[in-house]
Chains A and B, each alone.
Chain A
Amino acid sequence: MKAVLAGKSNYSEGFKAALTEAGLELIMADTASDLKGLPEEMPVVLLYDAKISPLVTDRAVLDRSILGLKPHDMIVFLMDKDEEASPYVESRVIDAASYLASIKRRVTVLMRSSRASDERFDDRYMSARNKGVTFIKYDDIEISENDEIYLIEVYDGKISVSLETPLLIDCGEKPTPELEDFVKALRLRTYGDGCITGNRWFLNQGSTFKRNVKLINTIALDGDLNKVIPALVKDIHALSKPGQGQTAFVDSKKCAYCYTCYRVCPHSALGPDENAAAMKVNDLLCAACGICVAVCPASAITFKGEKVEGDRAEKSGKKLKMFCCENSALIASKNALDGLDAAVEAVPCGGDITSEMMTKALKDYERVMVAVCCDDACKHRDGNKRVIRQVERLKERLEKLGHDSHRLSCIQTGVTMSNILKGAAEKALSGGGKK
C-alpha cells in the first residue's frame, strides 16, 4: 500500500519510521510541487503546524515578556479576531491566562464565542475563573495604539467597554504559506458533509472533505506520536477497500470532450483525462448529485452503482407535474399531497432540472411546478438558484411566444414545510391561467 507523507515538520522522521513499520510504502512530499504527477486517489497524510503566537504556547517566552510590566498592568488575550479559534488554541489560551492569574496578574480574555459548556473545557474555565481571569465576549472590536499602550474598544452588541493594556496577545492561528500551497494543491475544503458548517474548525484533525487526506496538527501532538499513529494506519488501510455508494461514470467513447460537465460540477469532481481524450470522474469527490448526467449534451455520463431513480413516468394522466428536490421538497411532499391531482418526480438537486425537462412536462401536463430548497440550503452549491433563474427565463420565453406563463411555477421549501407545499400545489391546480 502506497501513501504520501506531505509537509515538512520536526515530526516527519518519526512519522516516516512509524508508518513504514506499519507496512506502508511512503512517498515524501516536502513541498506542494512534489505532489504533481501522483494519482489523486492515493492516501495523503498532511503534517502541518499553524502559527500561533509563542506567548500562548511557550511559558518561558511568556515569563520573559511580562518582566517589564507593572503588577497592576492588565494583560489581554485576544481570540477569534479573524477566524474562530480551534479547541486546541482555546485550551492553550485558558491555560496561559490561568497561569498568569495564579501569579497575581490581571488577565482578561476577549472572545467571540466560548466552549465553556463543553465537557472538555468545563474544569478549565471553572479554575481560570476561580483564579481571577476575566472573560469578555465581544461582537465588535477596535484597537488603537498609543505610546506602546493599546487602547481596546470592545462592543458586545449592547454596551461598549474600553480597556488599556501594554501587552496585547493576538491568539489567532495563521496557516503558514507552505500549508496554503498544500491546501491549494490538494483542493481541500472545510467540512462539507452538511454536518459542520462555515469556517468552524478549519484545518483541524479530521475536518477535511476528501476521504483520502488525513490532516495532522503537529503542535497539538505534544511530541506523542502514538496518539495518532494507530488510528491513522487503520484509516489508510480502510481506504484500500472499494468505496460504497454510487458515482458518475463517463463513457469515453461517447464523450465529446466539450468541458460542459467540468463547468457545471459543483464538487469539482470532473476533470480532463488527456490520454483518453475524454472527461474523467474522481470517485472521491463525486457526490452523485446527477447534475452532469443531466447536462451532458452527448449523454455520455451515467451512474455507476445503484442510484435510486425517481419516478420518471412519461405521462400519468394527472394535471400537475411537480419536480421535487430529494433533499427538501420530496420529504415535505410525503403524505402532504394525498388526494391532489399531482404527479411527483424526484430529482437529486434543483440544478438537475433542465429547461428541456420542463418544456417536455409542459407538453404532457397542464401545470408544472418546481419545488427546491430555500436560499443557502442547497447541498450542491446553489442548484436551487440555478433552476429558479431557469424557470424565470423559460417563463419569459413562453410569454414572448404568446403562451400562458402561469402554467409554470416555482417554490422554495424546507423539509417540514408540508402545509406550504400543499398550499402552493393547490394554488397551482386552481390558479388563474389566461390561456
Chain B
Amino acid sequence: MNNVLIIGGGLAGCTVAQELSAAGLDSCIVEKSAFLGGKVRGYGCKADAKCNNCGLCAVGDLWQSVESNQKIKKLCNAHVIDIFKENGEYKALIQTDNGIIEENFSELVVATGFESPDKTTGSEYDSSAYPRVYTGNALEKLMMNRKENSLFPEAPKSVAFIMCYGSRNVKERASYCSQVCCAYSTRAAKVIKHYYPEAEVVMFYMDLQAVNPGNYARELEEAGIKLERCRPVDISFDGDKPVVAFEDEEGKTKRSFDYLFLNTGIHPDVMNNTAIADITGLRVRSDGFLTYVEQPENTGVYLAGCAVAPMNTYDTIASARNTAAMLINNATEGSVK
C-alpha cells in the first residue's frame, strides 16, 4: 500500500498530490486552514497590457482539480500532532474538527510553506489602520480585485515602493534575500504605471536580485519608474498620507506619497517548523527553514516548496514536481522488487 501523507495544502502540497494521483498513488493532504490553496490562492495576476510572467497561469485551476479529485483525501482545519511506528507501519495522529484520528502512511511530504509576511514584519502598518499603506498581501489583494479602469479608490499622483522590507535585516532575523519581493513589486509597479501613466512611481531598492536578468532596470526606467538606490530611514504620517524620509544626493529628504507599498518577503514559520522538525526528524536551519538530516529515500520524509527556502511560483512547482518524481520512482521500484 502506498499512501503519502502531505502536510500543507498550499501550492507545493497540492502539486505533489496532483502528480501522485496522475501516477496512480493515493495521498492525503493535511491543511491547517479551512480551505486548500494556501497563500497563492490570494494572489492576483500582474499582467498589464502584456503578460508579466508572474507564474499564476502555471498554477491555473489546480485547486478545483485537487478538490474534485477522489484519489486525494483532504483534511482541512487539521494538524498533525504526532507520528509513530506501530507493527512496521507509520501512523500519524491528526487533530481534526471531529476529534483526533489516525492515518496510516508509507511516506511523508512536508510542504508547510512560509509565514504570512505581514504577520511578522508588516504588522506595524496594518492596512485597516493605515489605508494608504499596502504590505505584500494587501498588494496581492489589490491586484486581484482590480477593475477595468481603476486600481485604487482614487487616482494617485505619486506612489512609492520600499523593497526588501523586513528581509536582509539582521534585526528581523532575515539576513537572506526573499527571492520574490523585487520581482512582484516591479510587476506591480508596471501595472500601476499602466493604469495611471501620469503617476510618479518611485522604488527604493537595495539590490534587484530576483528580477529578470538583462536590461531590466533600464526597461523600468523607460516605463517611467524611478529607481532610487537607498534604504529609507523612517516612515511617518501626515494625516493619513505616508511620509518617507530618505537620503539622496542632496542629503536627507522627506517626501509625502499618495500610496506606499512595503514589499515584505518570505519568512519561515519558525514555531511551526520547529514543531514539525521535532516529530519528523528534520532539522531547522539557523535561518528558520527546514532541511534534511538524512537522505529522504532512507527516512521516507520528503520536503517541498517554501518550507525549504524562499521560492517563487515557478520554483515551488518545480520543487514539488521533483519531490513527486522521487516518490513515484521509489514506488515503481518497490513494485518491481
Residues of A within 8 A of B (CB): 80, 84, 112-114, 116-117, 119, 137, 139-140, 156-158, 194-198, 234, 238, 244, 327-328, 330-331, 334, 373-377, 379, 413-417, 419-420, 423-424
Contact = CB atoms under 8 A, between A and B. Distances in A.
Given A379-B57, A414-B56, A419 B146 contact: yes
Residue of A119, A158, A377 with highest tally of chain B CB at under 10 A: A377
Interface in B297-321: 308-310, 314, 317-318, 321
B333 to A, nearest CB: 7
B145 A157 contact: no
A194 B147 contact: no
Interface residues of B, number: 49
A374 B317 CA distance: 22
B43 interface: yes
Nearest to A114: B209
The CB with the most chain B CB atoms within 10 A, among A113, A196, A415, A423, is that of: A415
Interface string B223-260: 00001010000000000000000000000000000000
29 contacts: A112-B214, A117-B177, A117-B179, A117-B209, A117-B310, A119-B309, A137-B207, A139-B216, A139-B217, A139-B218, A156-B217, A157-B221, A158-B217, A194-B57, A195-B314, A195-B318, A196-B318, A197-B53, A197-B314, A244-B22, A331-B60, A379-B57, A414-B45, A414-B47, A415-B59, A416-B56, A416-B144, A417-B146, A419-B148
A181 to B, nearest CB: 28
Contact of B57 (A84, A137, A334, A377): A377
Interface string B176-208: 110100000000000000000000000000011
Contacts of B143: 416
B123 interface: no
A238 B332 contact: yes
Interface string B125-167: 0000000000000000001111110000000000000000000
Interface in B39-95: 43-47, 49-51, 53, 56-61, 64
A145 to B, nearest CB: 24
B137 to A, nearest CB: 14
A136 to B, nearest CB: 12
Contacts of A116: 177, 209
A99 B153 CA distance: 57
A241 B237 CA distance: 65
B195 to A, nearest CB: 12
* Nearest 4 pairs of A and B residues by beta carbon: A414-B45, A157-B217, A377-B51, A113-B213
Contacts of A423: 147-148
A331 B221 contact: no
A419 B45 CA distance: 12
Contact of B45 (A139, A195, A244, A415): A415
Contacts of B56: 414-416
Contact of B51 (A140, A373, A424): A373
B177 A112 contact: no
Given A80-B213, A157-B217, A331 B47 contact: no
Contacts of A379: 57
A140 B47 CA distance: 26
B238 to A, nearest CB: 29
A140 B221 CA distance: 14
B215 interface: yes
B45 A376 contact: no
Interface string B1-38: 00000000000000000000010000000000000000
Contacts of B148: 419-420, 423-424
A335 to B, nearest CB: 11
Contacts of A414: 45-47, 51, 56-57
Given A139-B215, A195-B318, 18 more contacts: A117-B176, A139-B218, A157-B218, A195-B321, A196-B318, A197-B53, A197-B314, A331-B61, A334-B61, A375-B51, A414-B47, A415-B60, A416-B143, A416-B144, A417-B45, A417-B47, A419-B148, A420-B147
B98 interface: no
A327 B57 contact: yes
A157 B33 CA distance: 43
Contact of A158 (B47, B59, B229, B317): B229
B173 to A, nearest CB: 16
Contacts of B295: none
Nearest to B58: A194
Contacts of A328: 57
Contacts of A117: 176-177, 179, 209, 310
A373 B57 contact: yes
A376 B51 contact: yes
Contacts of A137: 207
Given A196-B314, A414-B57, A420 B146 contact: yes
Nearest to A197: B53
